[in-house]
Structure 1
Amino acid sequence: MKSLFIAGTDTDVGKTYITAGLAVVLRKMGVDIGVMKPFAAGSAQKKGYKSEDVEILSRAAHACDPENLVNPQFFPIPASPYTAWKKLKIKPRIPIVLSSFKKLTKLHEMILVEGMGGIMTPILKDYFITNLIKEMKIPTVIVTRSKVGTVNHTIMTIKMCEKYKIPVKGIIINDFDKGYPVKDLTKDLQNLTGVPVLGSIPFIKDMSDESLNRIFKKNINLKLLLK
């Protein structure tokens, strides 16, 4: 089964919660799911994984893989890997990220890899999230929002995937901040990009397994996702 890279049109579009929801519903379907967030940044947690996002993903997947595999590099400031490198003098370790991903693929049937920020978030000066996806050789799912302006961001994201020859499995609309009717947005995105919209997820209050499984099973075209 092919692993997937969950990319976003921007930061704060809900990639972590979409990835967690996918991890839960696929696990409930009997898929041996592993998760990975190659680069994470922000304030480190005092207990468990340094990154709260990584903890959310691991809990959703019921995965207990070592932190150095699931999150090979953590930057203790809220910044892109490139900016963190310049400020902290800690160079992003791309070869270690790629080797960690390879190890995880041997431990699980499928890996959900969550990106950082938007798809052109810089890792090095001339190396972006797109380059990382390309080197991992896996297709991507694009998470977008329903706020006005999302069409522009989504089209640009799809165009960059085309430029880097990254297969796009589909788009998931995270409908947490409203503004653009989902029915209209779905039709417009599919007509403008030629990429299928896999579904839309409403604002989620209950992050329990039961809630996530029910919501994602109901709202996401899982057959198309796994095709």
Structure 2
Amino acid sequence: GFKSEDIEILATAAQVNDPELLLNPQFFPIMASPYTALKNLKIKPNISLVLKQFKKLSKLHSMLLVEGMGGIMTPILQDYFVTDLIKDMKLSTVIVTRTRVGAVNHTIMTCKMCEKYKIPIKGIIINNFDVDGYRVKELKRDLENLTHVSVLGSIPFIDDMSDRSLYRIFKKNIDFKS
């Protein structure tokens, strides 16, 4: 298995057998931003390795899904953030938000940072409905009105992480044509 549970789930869902070092070139065994993990573990960052491995993956696969690390302004170095990594990889983004209180504010701020850094936004996905949060229809309406970004769909909490189940849920709930 992989050191990272997230990488294992994503690799399984994508049905790829790429080595972990290619998929996750710099792993931090603590739950923290890369900046904090690097400081606490006294490890030197290796952005060039991350970019090199990304280029290799780009040549191996026709489509890549690059998972973020906690948010658009997550620090990697003192003066290098996830926004910088996205720019260096020349990627556009899909913003994933939740339904809990604060989601509108957080999503608007994320959109504003993408605008500031000139990162194209492909759309927004509403993830894991929170029973105490916004109703999905209202949140979709408000986010589209306030951000002028399309909500591609919404994904409920997924208990069954099998490939077939994930595919069915995504196909039913996400508008990939947008």
The TM-score range, normalised by the shorter chain, is over 0.9
1:89 partner letter: K
Displacement of 1:49 in angstroms is 1.1
User: Is structure 2 residue 118 aligned with structure 1 residue 165?
Assistant: yes
Q: Which runs of 4+ in 1 moved over 6 A?
A: none
User: Is structure 2 residue 42 aligned with structure 1 residue 86?
Assistant: no
Matches within 5 A, 1:192-211: 192-211=146-165
- Pick the aligned partner of 2:72 from 113, 119, 137: 119
Task: Note the alpha carbon deviations across 1:137-184, whole angstroms, 9 max, x for none.
Answer: 011000000001100000000000011100000000013323101001
Count of residue pairs brought into register by the alignment: 177
Task: Note the alpha carbon deviations across 1:66-93, whole angstroms, 9 max, x for none.
Answer: 1111000011211111111111110221
- Contiguous gaps of at least 5 residues in structure 2: none
How high is the TM-score relative to the length of structure 2? 0.97
CA distance in 1, matches of 2:127, 2:34: 25
- Pick the aligned partner of 1:137 from 79, 83, 90: 90
The structure with the greater share of residues assigned to strand is 1
User: Is structure 2 residue 26 aligned with structure 1 residue 73?
Assistant: yes
User: Is structure 2 residue 99 aligned with structure 1 residue 146?
Assistant: yes
2:171 partner letter: K
User: Is structure 2 residue 127 aligned with structure 1 residue 174?
Assistant: yes
- Pick the aligned partner of 1:59 from 12, 17, 22: 12
CA distance in 1, matches of 2:26, 2:129: 29
2:155 partner letter: I
2:90 partner letter: K
Higher relative contact order (CA 8 A, sep 6+): 1
- Identity over aligned residues, as a percent? 74
CA distance in 1, matches of 2:76, 2:173: 33
- Contiguous gaps of at least 5 residues in structure 1: 1-47
- Pick the aligned partner of 2:139 from 185, 207, 221: 185
CA distance in 1, matches of 2:136, 2:129: 11
Q: For 1:135, what is the secondary structure of its paired residue?
A: helix
Instruction: Tell me the C-alpha RMSD between the 2 structures.
Output: 0.9
State whether residues 12 and 163 of structure 2, in contact with CA within 8 Å, keep that contact through their aligned partners in structure 1. Answer: no
Task: Note the alpha carbon deviations across 1:18-70, whole angstroms, 9 max, x for none.
Answer: xxxxxxxxxxxxxxxxxxxxxxxxxxxxxx21101100111111101111110
CA distance in 2, matches of 1:91, 1:120: 20
Structure 1 partner of 2:177? 223
2:27 partner letter: F
